[in-house]
Amino acid sequence: MPDNYILAVGAHCGDMEISAGMALAKLARAGKRPVFLHLTPGEKGHKTLDPETYAAQKREEAQRAAAAFGGEALFLPYRDGELPSDETLKFQIADVIRAVKPKVVLAHWTGSMHKDHTAAGEVMPDALFYAAIRGFERELPPHGGVRMLYTENWEDPIGFRPELYMEVEQQYVERWESACKEYALFAGGVSDFDYITYYKSLARVRGLEIMSPTGLAQCFGLTDLARRRRVSDI
Ligand SMILES: [Zn+2]
């Protein structure tokens, strides 16, 4: 794969598209392709469909959404609500990082109301470490130098700090909305939460906070070490 990939690691199909998709739509236009790694389908939240049926539906929706973002979808075979925070998962994600070779990885912030989101965020630093270190012998060669950013997700608000504001234009909000609506979850009728209105409103608020010329922005959180700045003057 060429080295222009952004890997978005979500606990459930849809998490990364809905929370980071405005930025990803803009980056895709600039030639940076998103790869969505879905750790579970997020199949247990449907009011009428059984989990197995809904899982199959969500995987198809994920494929269509990824294509609409100009990217692709990958899957790990975990179940909704049962995502472990263990070494096996860390190495599985590390292997994907070695295969995709992204420059940027998007991850869940760990202060979440959903245990899968917390687990998905917790495993990422070690997954990046295992991906980068040659001494961990895997099928593929190591890949390091990856920047990790946390996405701003309504389910992950505890202690989240919006620190990196990316300006986005209205056209990318529209691309995000149409791509996300490949999921029944975001088109309406599955959940009582109004995802589209929430994230559109959030983009407007974040845009106002930085006086974005477009009036819109998508936020990311930084890792602790990423806050270090080398300067020659203050
Ligand atoms: Zn989720």
Tens digit of pLDDT for each residue in 113-138? 999 999 999 999 999 999 999 999 99
Distance 117 CA to ligand 1 centre (A): 6
Residue 2 has pLDDT above 70, yes or no: no
To 10 degrees, the CA torsion angle through 185, 84, 107, 34?
Answer: -60
Query: Given the DSSP bridges, would you call strands 72-75 and 33-40 parallel, antiparallel or unpaired?
Result: parallel
Least Cα distance to 39 among 102, 93, 111, 87 occurs for 93
Q: What is the mean pLDDT of residues 199-205?
A: 98
**Tokens coding 55:** 């899982």
Specify the pLDDT at position 189.
Answer: 81
Residue 161 has pLDDT above 70, yes or no: yes
Specify the pLDDT at position 3.
Answer: 59
What letter represents residue 144's amino acid? G
In this structure, which residues have their CB less than 5 angstroms from ion ligand 1? Answer: 11-12, 15
Distance 71 CA to ligand 1 centre (A): 20
Distance 185 CA to ligand 1 centre (A): 11
Distance 199 CA to ligand 1 centre (A): 15
To 10 degrees, the CA torsion angle through 196, 28, 106, 185?
Answer: 30
Distance 146 CA to ligand 1 centre (A): 23
**Mean of all residue pLDDT scores within the chain:** 96
Specify the pLDDT at position 45.
Answer: 84
Distance 215 CA to ligand 1 centre (A): 27
